[in-house]
Amino acid sequence: MTFADVPGFASASEERGETTVVVETARLREAAEYLRDERGFNFLADIAAADYLGWNERTVAGYWGHREGRDINRPGSWGLAKKPEPKAKRFSVSYHLVTVVSGARAAARVRLQVWCDDGEPVPSVVSVWPTADWHEREAYDLMGIEFEGHPSLKRILMDDDWEGHPLRKDYPIGGEPVRFSGAE
C-alpha cells in the first residue's frame, strides 16, 4: 500500500511490519480526512505523543574507564550500545489508524505521525474521529501538545490547576512540592 498521495506527505517507512506515514503538521487534518474517506481508516485506535528531549545525547557504552575514571553519578552513564538517529523535532504525535469492517478477517493499520516543537500547534482531528477528543486532551495534559481547533482542550488526568506536563522528559521525577502537607 502506498501513501505517497496522502495530502502533506513527508515520508513513509516500513519497520517490523508497521507502516509509519509522516505528514506535514499543518496539513494533518487534510491527511486524516483523506485516510478516513478514501482509504477506509475509519477507526482511530490511539493517539500517542512522545518527547524526544535528550534523545541520542547519551554517550556510547563502554566497559573500560578512561584516564579520568568512570563517572558513575552522571545520569544515563550506562550509555547506549549505538547512538540512535537524531529526531527532527522534539515531539512526535502518532495516530494509530485501523480499517474496521464488520466480519473482516484482516485489517490494515497505519501510524500517521506528525512532529512538532514546544508550543507549536497541531491541528485537532476531533472533527474527523470523535474519539480523538479525550486522546488529545490526554496528550495535552501529560505532554503539553497544543491541539488547534479542539472544542475543549483542558486537562483530563491531572488536576485542573496542575503545573507542568508530567510525561515530558524535563519534568522532575522527584522533589515536587507536596500539595497537602500538614503545615498549610
Residues shown for the chain: 184
Footprint of other proteins on 109-138 (CB under 8 A): 109, 111, 126, 129-131, 133-134, 138
> DSSP label at 131?
T
C-alpha cell of residue 115: 512532529
78 near other proteins, rule: CB under 8 A: yes
> DSSP label at 99?
-
19 near other proteins, rule: CB under 8 A: no
Footprint of other proteins on 29-58 (CB under 8 A): 42-46, 48-51, 55-56, 58
1 near other proteins, rule: CB under 8 A: no
Q: The sheet that has 43-51: what strands, in order across it?
A: 9-15, 18-23, 109-116, 91-98, 43-51
Residue whose C-alpha cell reads 506528525 in the numeric block? 114
62 near other proteins, rule: CB under 8 A: no
At residue 94, what is the residue type? S
CB of 123 to other proteins, least distance (A): 15
Nearest to 132 by CA among 158, 94, 99, 160: 94
Task: Report the interface residues with other proteins, using CB under 8 A.
Answer: 15-16, 18, 20, 42-46, 48-51, 55-56, 58, 76, 78-85, 94, 96, 98, 100, 102-107, 109, 111, 126, 129-131, 133-134, 138, 142, 151-152, 155-159, 166-167, 171, 173
